[in-house]
Amino acid sequence: MIKKLALSAMTVLALGSTPVLAAESGHVHDFAFSFEGPFGSYDRAQLQRGLQVYTEVCAACHGLDLVTFRSLSDETGLGLEDDVMRAYAATMEVPDGDGGYRAASGPDHFPGSSMENAPDLSMMAKARAGFHGPYGLGINQLLHGIGGPEYIASFLTGFTGEETEQGGAIFYENTAFGGNVAMPPQLEDGLLEYADGTEATEEQMAQDVAAFLMWAAEPKLVERKMWGFIGVIFLALLASLLYLTNKRLWAPVKDAAKNS
């Protein structure tokens, strides 16, 4: 019985370790992100670089209206100092409720998309989750993460350079999207200068902003994993205590049976 169980568990794990993508038509590359796996956590420097890419490039069209500025100070996320976070917020404008605009502060949310057909990016890393594993068991999600940031990074680096015009609008061929998309290619080597000195290659920027968007969609990922781990330890302890209690409770009965 135990042998059988162990065997099927091993099969599931073996199946799970080959990245299987959902029935997405496009090509998604399996980038190795620091926050994957049961003990993965965010790389603070990478998230900060991702915020820089978002601010300097994506924010021209895309919003992040579910994310608050003060969450940029979260310890398990970007960990910005309070005054740095507030200075950053003050560079953004939000509606003041009177039809005008004012500088944003900590509790405010990022502005929404300024371009009508550019989707808000707050939950994009989850909306495009690509890794589910065989039969949607989610085993790949445990081992490789959900695949959303992989999709975003593949999307940003997946432009082929082909353009087509349709009804007066230009569309760009993209291998991750699996067809033509209305968003023009955004990243190219050396597009910006990273504050931390990292070389801003196309792939580096794509991964950094994808990691940042994963954080935006799931800011409590690290805490969630920690509590999951504590839960497993607790259950293991509880199981062994119950086993010992069970043995002890039945010991007199067993002794009696042996002696009779």
* Residues of the shown chain interacting with ligand HEC in the complex, contacts defined by CB under 6 A: 53, 57-58, 60-62, 115, 117-119, 124, 128, 152, 155-156, 177, 181-184, 186-187, 209
Shortest distance (Å) from residue 134 CB to ligand HEC:
24
Shortest distance (Å) from residue 13 CB to ligand HEC:
30
Shortest distance (Å) from residue 95 CB to ligand HEC:
21
Shortest distance (Å) from residue 234 CB to ligand HEC:
38
Shortest distance (Å) from residue 26 CB to ligand HEC:
8
Sole residue written with tokens 């940003």: 156
C-beta closer to ligand HEC: residue 117 or 259: 117
C-beta closer to ligand HEC: residue 89 or 210: 210
C-beta closer to ligand HEC: residue 19 or 119: 119
User: Contact at 8 Å (CB) between 209 and 50?
Assistant: yes
C-beta closer to ligand HEC: residue 52 or 71: 52
Cβ-proximal residue to ligand HEC, closest one: 58
C-beta closer to ligand HEC: residue 123 or 226: 123
User: Contact at 8 Å (CB) between 155 and 174?
Assistant: yes
Using DSSP's 3-state secondary structure scheme, residue 234 falls into helix
Shortest distance (Å) from residue 69 CB to ligand HEC:
19
Those residues whose C-beta lies under 8 Å from the C-beta of residue 164, and which sit 6 or more positions away, are 170, 171, 173, 180
Q: What are the helix (H) ranges across 25-147?
A: 44-56, 82-89, 124-127, 139-144
**Residue 174 β-bridge partners:** 159, 179
Q: For residues 211 and 52, what is the distance between their CA atoms, to the nearest angstrom? A: 12
Say how far residue 99 (Cα) sits from the centre of its chain. 35
C-beta closer to ligand HEC: residue 139 or 208: 208
Shortest distance (Å) from residue 128 CB to ligand HEC:
6
Sole residue written with tokens 């994009």: 124
Q: For residues 41 and 243, what is the distance between their CA atoms, to the nearest angstrom? A: 34
Strands 93-95 and 179-181: unpaired
Q: For residues 98 and 242, what is the distance between their CA atoms, to the nearest angstrom? A: 63
C-beta closer to ligand HEC: residue 94 or 156: 156
Cβ count within 10 A of residue 52: 21
